[in-house]
Chain A
Amino acid sequence: MTSADTDGKVRLPVARRAALVPLSVTINGDRRQLAVPPNRTLLELLRYDLDLFGTKQGCDKGDCGACTVRLDGAPILSCLTLALECEGKCVLTVEGLPGGAELHPLLDSFDRTGAAQCGFCTPGFLMTSWALLDETPRPTRDEIRQAIAGNLCRCTGYKAIVDAIELAAKMLRGEEPRLIGLPGSANLPPPIGTLPTGATAKDKDKRTAPGAGSSASQSASQLANQSANQPEEPKP
């Protein structure tokens, strides 16, 4: 083995690096002022610079969809998007999908149907289907299959994913109850220092994509609060 010494050795010039360029971009609702090299992809920016590891790398050249994020609402491949091309734009990643008490119906439905097995492709599917449901509240199964055709999954055979997206669409339209049998929903501790509902709704709006239905999200939060407030009862 050979280690590189720092002393007494003539070094080749540094691998040529371009100067950093300022970048202003909104990520999951937070405006960020950054400086990046021009050869930084959005995927690298998210994972390496911002530690937003939810966005995955599956091929790094646009063949698999694992790195899908939303750029100004549209699902795009972050591995084929230069970070600098996002100047002034809004990026949403899986970390931006509402969780907790306002759990997004997609997260709920993916667990219901088993639409994630290993979970590695899932953030990409969530981003693609989040955009789909914002644009098409009542998608047919064929429209769903078409929309996710750029996201490869190796575990499920896709059926459970199509089922989940269909189910989430129904939840968003209020046609299907949410948070049914959600693990832990019966066991959630009572909220500590509970925020007034108004504050929660505002938080949510900040994180929701333009055009996302908000009335449904509201009902999710109500449901979650209800179950959260129920003390666990030992069943006699």
Chain B
Amino acid sequence: MSDSGGEAASRTAGEDATGGRALPPPIERHGDVLRRLGVVRYTDDIKLPGMLHAKILRCPHPHARIRSIDPSRALALEGVYAVVTGKDMPRRFGIIPWTPDEYPLALEIARFVGDGVAAVAAVDELTATLALKLIAVDYEVLPHVTDPFEALRRPEIGLGKSGRDNISKHVALDFGDVEGALAKSDVVSEGHYYFEGSAHVPIEMHCAIGDYDREGLLTVYSATQVPHYLHRELSRVLEISPARIRVIQPPVGGAFGGKSEPFDLEFCVAKLSQVTGRPVKLLYTREEEFYAHRGRHPMHLHFKVGCMKDGTLTAVDAKTLIDGGAYSSFGLVTTYYSGQLLTLPVFPPAYRFDSTRVFTNKPPCGPKRGHGSVQPRFAFEVALDKLAVEVGVDPIELRRKNAIGGNTTSLNGLRVTSNGFLECLDAVERASTWRERRGKLPFGRGLGVAGSSYISGTNYAIYPNEMPQSAVQLKVDRSGRVTIFSGQSEIGQGCDQLLRVIVADELGLDYSAVRVVSGDTDLTPVDLGAYSSRGAFMNGNAALMAAREVKQKLREAVAGKLGCELRDVVVTRGALCHRDEPGRCVDVTTAIQLAEARFGTLGAVGHYNTPKVGGDYRGGTIGASPAYSFTAHVAEVDVDLATGEARIVKIWVAHDCGKAICPVIVRGQMEGSAYMGAAEAVLEEHVIRPDGLHVGPSLLDYRIPTSLDVPDLEALIVESHDPEGPLGAKETGEGPLHPSIPAIANAIYDAVGIRLDRLPFTPARVLQALREKRRREGDDNGAALANTAALANTAALANTGPVAKTAAAE
């Protein structure tokens, strides 16, 4: 704990009026894994009686007008029940209410290779697949664009809303005198950075089931992160009252942002079920997963960052071109995030950014873990490293010097409460033995540092409304069992277990006595979804509110039983006791029964709404969060000088999560984030060819790391005890991804002295940069490769003697 705000943040959230109750010891196991091991039913594991299977016909052109669709041959195939096209659902949808620009199936224009044009329901997947080949579509192929700069140059392609340009969103914001500050700077680092896009690649593919029953109630099961938004959009597009729609979100097999808006399949199964009167399931193929995409946006980032000789930062001037792909998705927010989320935890007093998102004829980009902010974070943290080298200040010191601290407001109006960033820097510096090793390792090996910050949810709901952002209901059973009804979406991040621990802790129960029912719009109150790292903070606070109401009733009932004052009753593990007479206790189950007898059936609701935070300017609420997490990484790399492969040896990940309520889950999020970032640094790139085709929409060609390709990971939890977080907790799911990439970039510089400002750092690019460096430095061997002994990398070679005269093999 330091002077950075953590200290000031007293642990009010973990205590209550009765005072003095300690949190239970950390749960040294996950706690909710057993339920998942082969028992949990994911969407594709649900089988309804009479269920049909659907497939979507996709456009093979990057941009085309649909002249006509003839499904008659497909319908004549035995086992085919129905075909729907865009004309059957002619209403636009979109996750952001201001930019609805997608149809469930393309109405007139298909905008990328893989855009859906028709859907067929059949008795099984094989028949549905065969039927797709029998649907005749007459296309007029239109000019297309796949490069964002070309999209700026060729407005006539008309992918924008007006049809006269390809612009999706433009945001320019100014804070302070950037020109003046840069002019006065001792050093300015100017660089162009390119972040190739990447995909989420959850192992579970998108899947949905529509079931329009005989009473006219539509149930849609979907592997989604946002059942509530799906509920709204289904209603709008299908023109069915939301009161007649139920969305069930079974546990999701990984999402990472890739399932956080409605997709074509959900509308198609609903419509096909309505038409056929039977349940209809649609499971994407792995290939379709890459077309649905919504992955990380490719960004061209032009950054100027200035600083003084002593390392004091002066200004940032950022200009960013964002390649949005075919549709808006969350693009409006992405465009803001590309600038707004950069100003913590290390930043100068002058800043401006100018971000433009353009449409291209490619699978649409969207939010991937660290939405919109991972790319500028890469550029900025690398720029900081360049400046540190230039002015001769240790990169960790430079960050310390410019850290914003706690209980303050950032340049762009982000309210900061708890801030454990300096502790994070300390932790990775110590654990990596940075001081002893950085800059002193043999050529080829290096260390790099980077930091970041991320939101714990945003105070701005996606559609403007005054209602709670998160809510739970508690049902308390006289058996001693508690059920939490939560609208949050369990996608593997552990939100169900977090709720169990929070409620169990409040009521003195073993968490196994608490069960969670989540993600069902009929059964659970509204929560906006599993995105923006909002779950722990918002849903946790909602659960805490409900649990405290129940606890109050238990304490009152026990006070009556023990004949003491309410304030004397405290909750301990398993019982409610008199605080001064530890022998006078009532076990929790009995307390529940006493309370039920006294107050009637026990239950409670809890909800959460953020305080009104954010800057007082247009867009000032985007990026405003009730609390921010902080992260620092040190990465160690080992560059193979012959192949160019940059092997990441280890990443030390320090993360300020406020309070680690479930440490195993927190560590899991930290390791999972860091690894995912590392993969984007050296391996993954989501590339669309100039002709609009995906280079390889499969897990063989889009390579995500195996167990042999990941660095050693060391998670260092830092707790700053946020004053408003549930029990002091903040987000952990996305923040720890951000520093991976720049830390690795900076480590490569430390290892071999090259700056790769273009991602990913493939062996080919590393080798190329190494050569250019040698050439620049006038190395005699410049263009040539290192000598053969180095190539062979075999120590044994040096010891072998000459070979006698022999005949050649050939």
Contacts and interface: CB of A to CB of B under 8 A. Distances in A.
A and B, direct touch (CB closer than 8 Å):
yes
Contacts of B41: 53
A170 interface: no
B108 interface: no
Given A1-B84, A12-B73, A12-B78, A234 B574 contact: yes
B573 A235 contact: yes
Contacts of A150: 706
Contact of A14 (B78, B283, B674): B78
Interface string A98-118: 000001000100111111111
A216 interface: no
A152 B704 contact: yes
B746 interface: no
B294 interface: no
Given A14-B78, A56-B253, A157-B674, A118 B29 contact: no
A160 B81 contact: no
Interface in A62-92: 63-64, 66
Contacts of A15: 77-79, 126-127, 130
Interface stretch (A132-140, A178-186, A191-199): A178-186
Interface in B187-237: 200-205
Given A59-B699, A234-B574, A235-B574, A154 B202 contact: yes
Contacts, number: 248
B325 interface: no
B438 interface: no
Given A97-B38, A117-B672, A159-B712, A4 B82 contact: yes
Interface stretch (B153-161, B401-409, B464-472, B487-495): B487-495
B672 A120 contact: no
A122 B205 contact: no
A170 B708 CA distance: 22
A209 interface: no
B494 A117 contact: yes
Contacts of A183: 29, 31-32, 34, 510-512
B810 interface: no
A211 interface: no
A56 B275 CA distance: 30
A54 interface: yes
A36 to B, nearest CB: 14
Contact of B203 (A14, A113, A120, A159): A120
Interface stretch (A19-27, A141-149, A218-226): A141-149
B528 interface: no
A155 B254 contact: yes
Contacts of A60: 285-286
* Interface size grouping (class) on chain A: 35 or more
A180 B28 CA distance: 9
A13 B80 CA distance: 12
B34 A155 contact: no
Contacts of B707: 144-146, 148-149, 151, 153, 158, 161-162
Interface in B650-678: 664-665, 667-668, 671-672, 674-676
B713 A157 contact: yes
Given A117-B254, A183-B511, 9 more contacts: A2-B72, A2-B83, A12-B76, A60-B286, A154-B203, A155-B672, A159-B713, A182-B29, A183-B34
Interface of A: 1-4, 9-15, 47, 51, 53-54, 56-61, 63-64, 66, 93-95, 97, 103, 107, 110-123, 126, 144-146, 148-162, 180-184, 186-187, 232-236
23 contacts: A1-B82, A2-B83, A9-B75, A56-B204, A56-B253, A60-B285, A63-B286, A107-B37, A110-B33, A111-B31, A111-B32, A112-B28, A113-B30, A114-B664, A119-B251, A123-B38, A152-B706, A153-B203, A157-B675, A160-B667, A187-B512, A234-B575, A235-B574
**3 closest Cβ pairs, A-B complex:** A118-B492, A120-B253, A157-B675
